[in-house]
Amino acid sequence: MTLVHANTQEKPQSETLTELALEGRWRVVVLNDPVNLMSYVVMVFRKVFGFDETRARKHMMEVHELGRSVVWTGLREQAEAYVYTLQQWHLTAVLEADETH
């Protein structure tokens, strides 16, 4: 008698869900630069993320005073799109893994 194992390469469901949860959390971080005006950065945050004036200013001040601000967290594909868009607006933006989740 021969035993046949179907789907031997399939991972347990809990392991797959854990990988998806870890893989999916990324941060969009805007870094300080000596080029862009504060008002310009606020305007970009409002246009790109739809932030209201208060939230946009809060993130701009974090960039200015702390050198960086996490402006968005979520799935990698969307995070990459935001980083690309911010770079097109000439802001210094990077993608970081969100290891807190």
Sorted by where each starts, the structural domains of the chain and their CATH numbers stand as 25-97 (3.30.1390.10)
Tens digit of pLDDT for each residue in 19-44? 555 567 999 999 999 999 999 999 99
Of 12 and 69, the structure prediction assigns the larger pLDDT to 69
For 13, 15, 19, 95, the CA distances from 8, given in Å and listed in that order, are 13, 15, 18, 35
Say if CB 71 and CB 28 are below 8 A apart: yes
Q: Is 56 left (phi over 0), alpha (psi -120 to 50) or beta?
A: alpha
Tens digit of pLDDT for each residue in 31-87? 999 999 999 999 999 999 999 999 999 999 999 999 999 999 999 999 999 999 999
Contacts of 43 (CB under 8 A, 6+ apart): 56
Question: What global pTM score does this model have?
Answer: 0.76
Q: What is the pLDDT of residue 20?
A: 53
Say if CB 91 and CB 34 are below 8 A apart: no
CA gap 56, 14 in Å, rounded:
38
